[in-house]
């Protein structure tokens, strides 16, 4: 993320309209409208933003009402307040942040341009026992090796599970 700001809407400023920019912009005042950029947006503590936001990355410390779509990531830092939906490949929410909306994890922008790769073939989980590992690798029924039954029920593909609540991070 860029360290140098291209523009600042400071405290006490009030802007309405459509904001487009390159690089980094910080808003510490009031903004109403639409924000479009592939760059970096910082909404400072105390800022009041009512807008549809489509950016590369955004860091929110202030109050935002509106939907946020980010190509790279969204960061909500206390004491931020966001009333709206988020669509982003990466999301960070600090303790103490108020978020009222839905979140959709998207594909990173760089991955959208790349051709789709086929999913790797499922691999059996190795159990650490030679007879079991041999049976699994040959797709044969697993022999019962004692009083505790052994079942071949799980398949690990190496891909993270979206249902488990894991969120990819790219910060």
Average pLDDT of adjacent 10-residue blocks, the chain of 171 residues: 78 95 96 96 97 98 98 97 97 96 86 48 49 49 46 43 46 47
In a domain, 137, yes or no: no
| Cα separation, 33 vs 15, whole angstroms | 8
In a domain, 97, yes or no: yes
pLDDT of residue 67: 98
Report the domain count for the chain: 1
pLDDT of residue 4: 84
| Cα separation, 18 vs 54, whole angstroms | 11
- Please give the span between the terminal C-alpha atoms of the chain, in angstroms, as a whole number: 9
| Cβ pair 19, 36 in contact under 8 A | yes
| Cα separation, 135 vs 31, whole angstroms | 64
In a domain, 35, yes or no: yes
In a domain, 67, yes or no: yes
pLDDT of residue 110: 57
H helices of the chain, in order, are 109-113, 130-137
In a domain, 98, yes or no: yes
pTM for this model (two decimals): 0.64
């Amino acid at each position: 993320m860029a360290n140098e700001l291209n523009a600042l809407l400071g405290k006490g400023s009030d802007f309405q309209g459509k904001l487009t920019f390159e690089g980094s912009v910080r808003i510490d005042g009031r903004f109403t409208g639409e924000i479009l950029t592939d760059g970096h947006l910082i909404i400072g503590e105390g800022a009041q933003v009512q807008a549809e936001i489509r950016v590369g990355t955004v860091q929110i410390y202030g109050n935002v009402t509106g939907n946020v779509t980010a190509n790279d990531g969204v960061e909500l830092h206390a004491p931020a307040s966001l009333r709206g939906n988020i669509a982003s490949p990466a999301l960070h929410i600090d303790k103490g942040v108020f978020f009222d909306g839905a979140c959709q994890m998207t594909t990173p922008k760089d991955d959208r341009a790349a051709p789709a790769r086929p999913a790797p073939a499922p691999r059996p989980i190795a159990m650490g026992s030679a007879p079991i590992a041999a049976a699994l690798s040959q797709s044969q029924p697993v022999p019962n090796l004692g009083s505790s039954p052994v079942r071949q029920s799980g398949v690990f593909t190496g891909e993270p599970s979206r249902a488990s609540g894991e969120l990819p991070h790219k910060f």
